[in-house]
Amino acid sequence: MTFNFAPYAIDGARTTSALARLAAYTTGGGRSGVAKPDGLKVLPLEVPGNGLRITAGGATILNHYQSNPDQVYVVSNPSTHVVPAASMPAPAPTTRHFLVCVVVGDTEFNQTGHPFMPTTLDPGSAATFEYVRIVLVPCAANTSQFEQLGLDYPAYALARVEIPPNTSTITAAMITNLRTLAQPRQDRQVIMGTLPPGEGLGNYPQVRWPSWQPVVAVPPWATKALMIITLSGIVVVGGETQGGLRGKLGDLTGGFVAYDIDNGPTFGQRQTFIMATSGPISQHAGTNVVVTTEGYRELGFGGSLQTWGGDTSHCIIDITFYEDTI
């Protein structure tokens, strides 16, 4: 029989750590990443010096002892971890770059090239050995993930640090965040409404138009949002018109999309307009916010945009909320 005789998990059966790592891989998305947006963030010391701080958090780390990983290790940092000066690179005459990595050691595998793991452990020390450590691994200036280094041990890059010549004081400007979420969440909300008839777009500066303003619930975990607004069945009245339209999600405001209708008849030409905005939404997480559209028409033109009756002017709002590291 080639199957392990006991699956993960059965009471009383003896199973293996490999099955636990496989379970974490299959249920956790099968990739390295942090558990929460603010977890394991790399920061300078409170008073910048020769060291780093790692915020509390957890992560999954692919088992790169395997050539084609189907296992992950789960690591946890319950409070702020300080990387001391003794673990930092010595000053050098040239600019250097390092990945700030969470590294795992496991005696089940070959330790060739591993930065700290011995081939074997004394049984007396196995229970208290430090299997998870922060290691600064040399890299190129554009390296963005540990896998680019081609090293055969489990590690996850939290950040890249650029250390200038003859420098030992690490500042925030030297640190580039590389963290991604192991299982980022998304939530898409699509809303459609019929616009009140007979509402004309006013002159510059911008005004809220049309007046329809739906309310959406921002998920409590959301850090970013992408919103696309489509106005359809909008009538051009009075001839040539120019101006701009934009959408707002709470205080997240998109740029104006210009329109220029220079061949419009005096009445009745229908138009569709699409606006988009994206950006941080953490400030509204867990609250209800109003979606609005704003617009203006340039002075000096006889035409304008107007909603029409008979349920023929509509608005479709398509919002996707994202979870990302912060």
Please state the separation of Cα 133 from the chain's center in Å: 25
Q: What is the pLDDT of residue 301?
A: 81
Residue 58: phi, psi to the nearest 5? Answer: -135, 165
Q: What is the pLDDT of residue 21?
A: 94
Cα separations in angstroms, 292 against 182, 248, 316: 33, 5, 12
The whole-model pTM stands at 0.84
- For residue 78, the one-letter residue type is P
pLDDT in tens, the chain (326 residues): 577 778 888 888 888 899 999 999 998 889 999 999 999 999 999 999 999 999 999 999 999 999 999 999 999 999 999 999 999 999 999 999 999 999 999 999 999 999 999 988 888 888 899 999 999 999 999 999 999 999 999 999 999 999 999 999 999 999 999 999 999 999 999 999 999 999 999 888 888 999 999 999 999 999 999 999 999 999 988 888 899 999 999 999 999 999 998 765 545 678 999 999 999 999 999 999 999 999 999 887 878 899 998 788 999 999 999 999 99
- From the number of C-beta atoms within 10 Å of its C-beta (0-12, 13-18, 19+), residue 91 rates as middle
- From the number of C-beta atoms within 10 Å of its C-beta (0-12, 13-18, 19+), residue 263 rates as exposed
d(CA 199, CA 15): 69
Strands 132-139 and 42-44 come out as: unpaired
Q: Number of C-alpha atoms within 13 angstroms, CB side, residue 75?
A: 29
Spatial neighbors of 299 by CB under 8 A, at least 6 apart, are: 203, 204
What's domain 186-322's architecture?
A: Sandwich (2.60)
Q: What is the pLDDT of residue 1?
A: 53
Spatial neighbors of 314 by CB under 8 A, at least 6 apart, are: 192, 193, 194, 195, 231, 232, 233
Residue 194: phi, psi to the nearest 5? Answer: -90, 130
Q: What are the residue boundaries of the structural domains of the chain, listed by start?
A: 17-177, 186-322
